[in-house]
A and B are shown apart, each in its own frame.
Chain A
């Protein structure tokens, strides 16, 4: 069964500090990897999408990296703000003839404190 594992499960950091979230996957054949931010009580919102050939992608203070050889991705948040408090979800897409092929991680819950 395809799997997407995220770590840590939860994280608390001080405002202004940096943090890195991890995503390891075993899905195959890989198509693309995306990171979503989900605020409490809201739907997920896409932060980045990376294909096999992309190693790094940034969206403001969010930078995602991808190592397709080791099947690992990270999301780095720089100079955290209180509004970064949310759940961050890693999603891996596979090429599949059966149709739908998105695999969701369980998310990392981030709390940024003053």
Chain B
């Protein structure tokens, strides 16, 4: 698992509340990613980071924001949680550049979020 931890592992929250998920890595990987996984869908990218304070949007970024103030931490915030954001969230990291390289991507254990 390349030293990736996610917290919390499980969370139940109410609609309209802000929620922050944390990803922590110990491998000093430059690139970090947040995905969501839902039944009937493949993993879908929410946001990614290519360095401290450098982030970009993925295909399902609406309603989410991210921050990366240190190499080892990547935070995902649901600004006002909705029931459609009930999902399993995975963090991932890669060591090197993302374009055209056969890089190894490592995933964290996931966070199961339920929005009621």
Closest to A93 in B: B100
- Cβ–Cβ < 8 Å partners of B40 in chain A: 106
Inter-subunit contact B56/A99 (CB<8 Å): yes
Inter-subunit contact B1/A43 (CB<8 Å): yes
B25 CB to closest chain A CB (Å) equals 12
Chain A: interface size category: 20 to 34
Please, how many angstroms separate the alpha-carbon atoms of A20 and B19 in the complex?
41
B7 CB to closest chain A CB (Å) equals 14
Among B41, B42, B110: residue with most chain A CB under 10 A? B42
Residues 25-43 (chain B) with a chain A CB within 8 angstroms:
33, 40-43
Inter-subunit contact A44/B43 (CB<8 Å): yes
Closest to B107 in A: A43
Inter-subunit contact A45/B107 (CB<8 Å): yes
Please, how many angstroms separate the alpha-carbon atoms of A84 and B91 in the complex?
23
Inter-subunit contact B45/A44 (CB<8 Å): no
- Cβ–Cβ < 8 Å partners of A99 in chain B: 50, 56, 98-99
Inter-subunit contact B56/A100 (CB<8 Å): yes
- Cβ–Cβ < 8 Å partners of A41 in chain B: 109-110
Please, how many angstroms separate the alpha-carbon atoms of A89 and B107 in the complex?
13
Q: Which of A31, A96, A105 contacts B42 (CB 8 A)?
A: A105
Interface residue ranges, A against B (CB under 8 Å): 4, 31-32, 34, 41-46, 49, 51, 89, 93, 95-96, 99-107
Chosen A-B contacts, 9 in total, with CB atoms closer than 8 Å, are A4-B42, A34-B105, A42-B109, A43-B90, A44-B90, A101-B99, A102-B45, A103-B42, A105-B42
